[in-house]
Amino acid sequence: MERLTLIFILNCISLVFPHTSYPHQIRGEVTPLMNQMEAVISLIEANKIGLAFKEVREMLRDSHYKDETRLEEGLGTAASQIDKRFKTDIQSALGASLAKRDSDMLKKTLQKLGALLMLEKFNSLEAKSHSIDSDARKSIFWSGRNYFSLVLEPALEKSDPAEEMRMDRLLDRMLYRLEDRKWEEFRTAKIELIGRIEKYFSFSLPSSLLEDSTNSTN
């Protein structure tokens, strides 16, 4: 019953922070994890701190089936994989924010995780650039960009619309360069995006994200 009540409240929050308010349309797959991260940040912004912490604890326990054959990763699995890949400390930061009941730390940690999940998709896209077709490239791109729209963009929209527009245009530029298969220009725009995210959100991202992924395997 408590879980159903929480889901109802999260749905109400989504009405206050609708996807359609973003400057571009959400495209492709929106995973349960994306929706949950967005909802927790929205709860914090709405000063529903207790509910935000409750939801995160559930997210750390839950696994979500997308269909009968595939398992959707939950927050704990995603954080663990990102920490292993980039040598970050997302898991410990999540634990510390819960232990301290520090909502600002929790929000920033989720935003950093959202940025890393987005950039992981972009690096994967570069690594697979010569082995997949145009539709597959666009699908991977939007699976990354949706993290920006749901987890990062609401804060920009609220406090710095001009910077939001600059980052959104960078992402548009990356999409156009992807379509033209101009990977050096794609990576240049990605590096600029990383710098702007670091500056606005005041956190550091791994230097490995700046490396050329076009010759990597993934």
pLDDT, tens digit only, all 218 positions of the chain? 444 445 445 555 444 444 444 445 789 889 999 999 999 999 999 999 999 999 999 888 755 555 555 556 789 999 999 999 999 999 999 999 999 999 999 999 999 999 999 999 999 999 998 899 999 999 999 999 999 999 999 999 999 999 999 999 999 999 999 999 999 999 999 999 999 999 999 999 999 888 766 655 44
The pTM of the full predicted model, rounded to 2 decimals, is 0.85
Does 216 reside within a domain?
no
Q: How far is CA 82 from CA 2, 49, 93, 139, 188, in A?
A: 31, 25, 13, 21, 23
Domains of the chain: total: 1
Domain extent for 170: 2-210
Ramachandran quadrant class, 72 (left: phi over 0; alpha: psi -120 to 50; beta: rest) = beta
**Pairwise CA distance, residues 93 & 27, whole Å:** 30
Does 217 reside within a domain?
no
CB 98 within 8 A of CB 64: no
Does 44 reside within a domain?
yes
Does 53 reside within a domain?
yes
Does 218 reside within a domain?
no
Does 97 reside within a domain?
yes
Does 215 reside within a domain?
no
Does 190 reside within a domain?
yes
